[in-house]
Structure 1
Amino acid sequence: MKQPLTGISPISFYGSAIISLGLIIFASAAPDAAAAVFKHANDWIIAEAGWFYMLAVGGFVIFLLVLAISPLGRIKLGPDEAEPDYSYGTWVAMLFSAGMGIGIVFYGVAEPIMHFSAPPDAAPRTPQAARDAMEVTFFHWGVHAWAIYAVMGLALAYFGYRKDEPLVIRSAFRPLLGDRINGAIGDVIDIFAVVGTLAGLATSLGLGVAQLNATGAYLFGLAQNLPTQLVLIGIVTGLATVTVATGLDNGIRRLSEMIIIVSFILMFLILALGPTRFLLQAFVENIGLYLNGFIGRTFHIYAYEPTEWVGTWTLFYWGWWISWSPFVGLFIARISRGRTIRQFLLGVLFAPAGFSFIWFTVFGDVAIWLDIHEANGQIATTVAGNMPIALFTVFEYLPWSSFLAWLTGLLVAVYFVTASDAGALVIAMITSQGNEEPVLWLRVFWSLVCGGVAACLLLAGGLGAVQMAAVIAALPLAVLMVLMCYGIWKALSDEVALTTSASLPAAPMVPHEAARFWRRRISAIIDHPGRLQVERFIATTVAKAFESVARELEKPEHIDAGIEKTSDGLRFVISHGETVPPFVYEVRPVSKPIPAFVVTDASRKEGGRNRYYRAEVFLAQGSRGYDIYGYDLDQVIADIVNHYGRYRHYLAITA
C-alpha cells in the first residue's frame, strides 16, 4: 500500500515546512515582537551588507553578458537534439507573468511619481527630477532584476537538462561539492531556497492584495484595511490552489498568455487616452537615460552621501529579486528546456525588461505629466499617503476611468493567481527531489502555506514587514548565487574540454577488416530502413558490441561497465567513480523524413512510407547526428572505443 507522504525529499520538506509554519505561528501570536525582529534584522543588513548586494548584482550582470556573447552561448540547455517546449511568445509571457506581474501594476505609477516628488539627487518636481525618476525606475526593473533571475534559472536549466541532475537548487553546486550535495549540505541549500522563495512570494502577494484592495475600494467602496486584505488573500489563495492543481500547461500557461494580452490592451488605452506624443518622446529619452546611467547606477551605494533612500528602494528591490530568484529561476528553467544559453540569456535579460520599460513609461510618465499639467501636485500627495491607490488616482484624470479600473482589477487578480500558483508549484518541485510534476497534495499544501505566510506577515507590521522579510531572506541566497556563478563557469569550461576531446581525430581501429564491408555500408546509406529493421540492428549488432567492450574493460582494470535498455534504445555506461561523470554511448532509432531527392524510391509512391529510421549515436551531451545502421560488429566497437578514448582525454585535461 502506498504511503501517504511519498514523492517528497524528507529533510527539505519537513525542514522548510517547520520553518514556514513556525513563522506563521510567531507572526500570528506575537505580531508586535515579530515586527520588531524583522525591523532590526532589516536595518542591520542594509547598513552592513548593502554593499555586498550591490556588488553581487553588478557581478551577475557582467557574468551573464560575457557568457551570452562568448562561444559558450551556443551550448543547449538540454541534449544537443532538444527543441524548445514552448513558442517564443508563450515562453516570454510565462516567465514575465510569474516574475514581476503584480509589482509593475503596484509600482507602475507609484514609483516614478514618488521619485519625482522626493528624488534622491535632484530638486523635487523639476525636469531633472522627472528624468531621474524614470532612470531610477528603469534601473530597478530592468536588466539587473532579470540578471538575478537568469543566474538561478541558467544554473538549474543547465544542470537539470544538460547534466540530467534533479531540478533542485542543490544540483547547481555539484561542480563545487560533488556528491555531498546529496547529503545534509544539499538539504540546507534547498531549505534556504524554499524560505527565500516564501519571503519573496509573500512580498509580491502583499503588494498584490494591497492593489486588489485598492481596486475594490475604487469600484465597490470596500474598506482599505487589514481584515479586508486578509479575506482577499484567502479568496485568491483558494483560486490559486485550484489552478496549481491543473498543472503547468493547463493552468499557468493559459493565464500567462491571457494577462499579457490584457496588459497590452491597458497600456494601449492609456497611451491613446493620455498625452500620446509626450509618452512616445519620453520613451526614447528614458532609454537613453537608462543606458547612460547603467554603469554608474550599478555600483552607486551612496557611500559618500549616506541616505536611507538606497535602502528603502534599491536594496529592497535587490533583496526582493534575490529572495524570489529560486522561484522565478526554477520556473523559467522548467519552461526553457531546449534553448541555447545565448537564446535563454538574451530572452530572459531583455524581453521582460523591454516590456517593463514600455509599461513604466506609459504609466509613470503619464502620472508625472498629469501631476504637472492637470492635478497640480494632487497625484503625488495622494500617492504619498496611500500608495496602492496611485493607479486609480491617475484614472480620475482620464476618460473611461471606470472601464480602466475594471481592466486593472482583472489584471491584478490574474497576476495574483499566477504568482501564487507558480510559486507553489516551484516550492513543491524543490521539496519533491526535483519532480517536475509534484504530487497533488504537495502542490496544494504549499499553495496554502504561501497564502498563510503573506497573511501573517501583514499581521506582523503590514506591507513594511513583508518587504523586510524579502531583504532578510536574500542575504544567504546572495552568497549561494555568487558560488553558483563559479559552478556554472567551471561546468561549462569542463564541457568545452569534453567537446575539444570529442573533436580529436579518430584512430582507425580495424582498417583492413572494415574495408571489406564498404559495399554493405553503401547499401545501408542508400537504403531507408523501417523501425523494426533498426531495432533488430540495435538488439543484435549493437548489443554484441556493448557486451564485447564491457568484457574487455573488466579484464585489465576491472572498470565498471553496464548495458541499460532504455525506452527506445540501448545505452552503454562506463563509470569511473562518483565524482566523475560517466561515459555514455547510446544508440536509438530516430525517425526522419525520406529525402525529397529520392524520387524513384518505391516508398515515395502514393500510400507508401514517407519516413525512415536511423540508428543514431547519443553521448552524454546529446545526439552526435550520425547514423551507424549497417555498421559491422567491429565498426561499432571501433566507434565506441574512439569515443571512449576522447572521453579519457577529457578526464586527463580536467583532472
Structure 2
Amino acid sequence: MLTEVDSMPCNNEHDAKFDKTLISISLIFVFATIAMLMAFPESSQEVAKNMFQGLTNNIGSLVQLFAFVIVCSIVYVAMSKYGDIKLGDGAPEYTNSSWLFMFICAGLGSATMYWAFMEWAYYYNGLGLNIDAQTNEALRTSLSYVMFHWGITPWAIYALASVAMAYHFHVNRAKGLNLSSLMVSVLNMKEDSTASKVLGRALDLVFLFATFGGLILTTTVTVNTVSTGFSELFDFQNSFLFEVVLLALITLTFTLSSYIGISEGLQKIAHAACGMCFVFAMVVLLLGDTTFIIDYVVNSLGLTLSNFVEMSLFTDVTNNGTFNKDWTVFYWLYWLTYCPGVAIFVTRISKGRSIRQVVFGLIAGGCAGCWFFFGALTGYSVDMFNSGIINAPDLLNTATGDLAVAQLLANLPFGTLLSVFYFLLMMVFLASHLDAIAYTVAAVSTKNMKQGEDPARPLRIFWCVMLSLLPLAMLYIDASLDTLKTAVTLTAAPFILVLVLCLFGLKKFLANHKFEK
C-alpha cells in the first residue's frame, strides 16, 4: 500500500491492519456525493441521465459480447479436467444448503422482490427482439427476458470472478483476500513494487465505489417498496421520515448479524431469508391460478433457452432500438458492481470445494432460485393483468411500480397478512445481503487477512453504517430510476477491464496448474 496503516487486532488475527487511507478516501467520496445530491437534486439527476445514455451507447455492444464469452469460457472450464481442481485443503466448511443460501443472498439484492412482481411490466411496455410493445406477443415473451436477465449470464459472471479469486487465494496461497492481490498476481507484478502498490490502492478504491453504486439501487428500491406498501396497507401518509425509520431498522438488523459473525449471524439470516422467499413464492403459486402460472413459466423457460444466443447479442442497431442498452447492458453492469464482493465472499465460504462445484453451484443454484421465485410472482402478476383485475403496466405509467406491488399483494387471499410477510421479508433479505457486502468491504480494507480469519468486528460494524448513507441521500431526493441506473453503470464500468484480467488470469493459473499423479 502507498501509506503506512495502523495495526489493530482483527478477530482471530494479530497482524491484520486497518487501511486508514483507503477508508478515509472512501468516506470523502461518500460524503461529497451525499452533499452534491442534496444540494443539487434536479441537476444531479439530469447529469446522471445523460451519463447513463452516453456510457451505454459507447460500450453497450462490447459488454454484451464479453458477457457471452464469459458464459462459454466458464462452462468449458467447469466441464474440463480443470473442474476437478480442489480449492483449498480439507472438507467444505459449510453444508451444501448453507453454502447455496449464503452466496444467493450475497449475489442477489432485496430489490429482486420488487422486480419479480414488476419487471415484466417494464418489458411489456417496450420489449426487445423487435416485438411490438403492449401486444399479446410482448405479454407472452416478457417473463422470458426476465429469466434471461436473472439467469445463466449473470451467474456465470459471478462464477468467473469467484473461481479466479478462489484459486488465487486457496491454491496459490495469496496473502490477502482482495481484488488488488489477484490483479497483481495476474499481471506478474512484484508485490512490493511501487506500480503494484499504486494499482492495488486504485483497485481497492474502485471496488469500494462500485459496491456503494450497486447498493444504492438495491437499497433505495427496497425501502421505497416497503414504505409505499405499509402506507397503503395501513392507510397513512408515506414520508421520508418513515423511510429513514425503515432504513435504520434494516441497518440495525444486519449490523447485529455482522457483529455476531458468519457462522452464527449471516448463515442463520441467509437461511431465514432464502427459506422465507421459498415459502412466499410457494404460497403465491398455490393461492394464485396455479395452472396458468406453471404453464406461463414453462413456456417462458423454453423461450429463454431457445433464444439465449439472440438475447445475448441482440442490439437492434438498424431500428435504433434502445432496449438492449436500457436493460441488458444495464443489468450486466449492475451485476458487475457486486461481482468483486461476491467473488471475495464466495472464496471465503468455498474452501474445500472443486471448481466444478463452484461454477455449477452458482449457475444452477442461482438460476433455479431466481427462476422459481420470479416465475411464481411474475406469473401471478401477469394473470392479474390478463384477467383485467390489476393492470400493473398501466400503474407503472400513471402512478408507481410500488403502488402496483401493494395492490397485487392486497388482492391475494389473506392479503393483509401476506403483505406484511412480504415487506418484512424484503427487509430481512436486504439485511442479509448488506451483511455479506459489509463483510467483503471490511475484508478489502484489512491488510494481511489470512485463511480462516475474518475482519475485525468494529470494522464490519463501521461499514454497515456507511453502506446505508448513500441510499439515504437517494431517498431524500426521491431519485428516479435513471439516476439509480447511472449510479450502477458508472461505478461498474471499470470492472469490465478487471473481469477481462480475471479471464486471462484464470487461463494462466489453470495452464500452470500441476495435477497430482
**TM-score when scaled to structure 1?**
0.72
Aligned to 1:233: 247
1:147 maps to 2:161: no
Of 268, 279, 293, the residue aligned with 1:279 is 293
Distance 1:69 1:304, change over 3 A: same
Contact in 2 for aligned 1:197/1:325 (Cα 8 Å): no
Query: What is the Cα-based RMSD across aligned positions, in Å?
Result: 2.1
What amino acid is the match of 1:290?
Answer: T
1:411 maps to 2:425: yes
Of 330, 333, 353, the residue aligned with 2:347 is 333
Distance 1:50 1:117, change over 3 A: closer
Of 185, 189, 198, the residue aligned with 1:178 is 189
Aligned to 1:321: 335
What amino acid is the match of 1:481?
Answer: L
- Distance in 1, Cα, partners of 2:42 & 2:137: 41
Of 90, 105, 110, the residue aligned with 2:98 is 90
- Distance in 1, Cα, partners of 2:447 & 2:311: 39
- Distance in 1, Cα, partners of 2:448 & 2:110: 27
Aligned to 1:119: 127
- In the TM superposition, what whole-angstrom CA distance separates every residue of 1:224-273 from its partner, at most 9, and x where no partner exists? 44443233223322332222111111111101111222112111111111
- In the TM superposition, what whole-angstrom CA distance separates every residue of 1:435-490 from its partner, at most 9, and x where no partner exists? 34111221122111110011123345614322211111111011111111101110
The Cα shift of 1:114 comes to 2.8
The Cα shift of 1:321 comes to 0.5
Contact in 2 for aligned 1:217/1:224 (Cα 8 Å): yes
1:440 maps to 2:450: no
Of 451, 472, 479, the residue aligned with 1:462 is 479
Aligned to 1:383: 396
Tell me: higher relative CO, structure 1 or 2? Use CA pairs within 8 A at least 6 residues apart. 2
Contact in 2 for aligned 1:53/1:318 (Cα 8 Å): yes
What amino acid is the match of 2:468?
Answer: G
Distance 1:458 1:406, change over 3 A: closer
User: Structure 1: 5+ residue runs without aligned partners?
Assistant: 504-655
- Distance in 1, Cα, partners of 2:170 & 2:360: 19
1:158 maps to 2:158: no
The Cα shift of 1:77 comes to 1.4
Aligned to 2:215: 201
Aligned to 2:13: none
The Cα shift of 1:85 comes to 1.0
- Distance in 2, Cα, partners of 1:258 & 1:316: 30
Of 50, 53, 68, the residue aligned with 1:43 is 53
- Distance in 2, Cα, partners of 1:134 & 1:183: 46
1:486 maps to 2:499: no
- In the TM superposition, what whole-angstrom CA distance separates every residue of 1:610-651 from its partner, at most 9, and x where no partner exists? xxxxxxxxxxxxxxxxxxxxxxxxxxxxxxxxxxxxxxxxxx
Distance 1:225 1:319, change over 3 A: farther
Matched residue SS, 1:245: helix
1:130 maps to 2:144: no
Contact in 1 for aligned 2:166/2:347 (Cα 8 Å): yes
**1:259-298 matches, cutoff 5 A:** 259-298=273-312
- Distance in 1, Cα, partners of 2:237 & 2:317: 42
User: Structure 2: 5+ residue runs without aligned partners?
Assistant: 1-5, 10-15
- Distance in 2, Cα, partners of 1:209 & 1:267: 20
What amino acid is the match of 1:487?
Answer: G
The Cα shift of 1:39 comes to 2.6
What amino acid is the match of 1:393?
Answer: Q
What amino acid is the match of 1:27?
Answer: L
1:346 maps to 2:356: no
- In the TM superposition, what whole-angstrom CA distance separates every residue of 1:383-404 from its partner, at most 9, and x where no partner exists? 3321123332223333111121
Structure 1 range deviating more: 326-335 or 432-441: 432-441
- In the TM superposition, what whole-angstrom CA distance separates every residue of 1:404-435 from its partner, at most 9, and x where no partner exists? 10110121110111122221111010110263
What amino acid is the match of 2:486?
Answer: M
Higher-Rg structure is: 1
Aligned to 1:55: 65
Aligned to 2:80: 70
The Cα shift of 1:23 comes to 2.1
Percent identity between the aligned chains? 23
The Cα shift of 1:309 comes to 2.6
- In the TM superposition, what whole-angstrom CA distance separates every residue of 1:340-393 from its partner, at most 9, and x where no partner exists? 000100010111111111112111122112211141x63322233211233322
Of 11, 28, 45, the residue aligned with 2:38 is 28
The Cα shift of 1:4 comes to 6.4
- In the TM superposition, what whole-angstrom CA distance separates every residue of 1:13-55 from its partner, at most 9, and x where no partner exists? 3333332333233323333343344233222101111122212
What amino acid is the match of 2:391?
Answer: Q
Of 95, 104, 107, the residue aligned with 2:112 is 104
Matched residue SS, 2:110: helix
What amino acid is the match of 2:153?
Answer: H
- Distance in 2, Cα, partners of 1:224 & 1:315: 33
Matched residue SS, 2:104: helix
- Distance in 2, Cα, partners of 1:380 & 1:77: 47
Aligned to 1:429: 443
**1:393-408 matches, cutoff 5 A:** 393-408=407-422
Distance 1:222 1:477, change over 3 A: farther
Aligned to 2:491: 473
Matched residue SS, 2:111: helix
Aligned to 1:559: none
Matched residue SS, 2:18: coil
The Cα shift of 1:196 comes to 0.7
What amino acid is the match of 1:196?
Answer: A
What amino acid is the match of 1:452?
Answer: L
Matched residue SS, 1:304: helix
- Distance in 2, Cα, partners of 1:150 & 1:342: 10
- Distance in 1, Cα, partners of 2:182 & 2:456: 24
The Cα shift of 1:11 comes to 4.1
Tell me which protein shows more helix as a share of its residues: 2
- Distance in 1, Cα, partners of 2:258 & 2:102: 14
1:369 maps to 2:383: yes
**TM-score when scaled to structure 2?**
0.90
What amino acid is the match of 1:169?
Answer: L
- In the TM superposition, what whole-angstrom CA distance separates every residue of 1:139-165 from its partner, at most 9, and x where no partner exists? 110011112222222222111111111
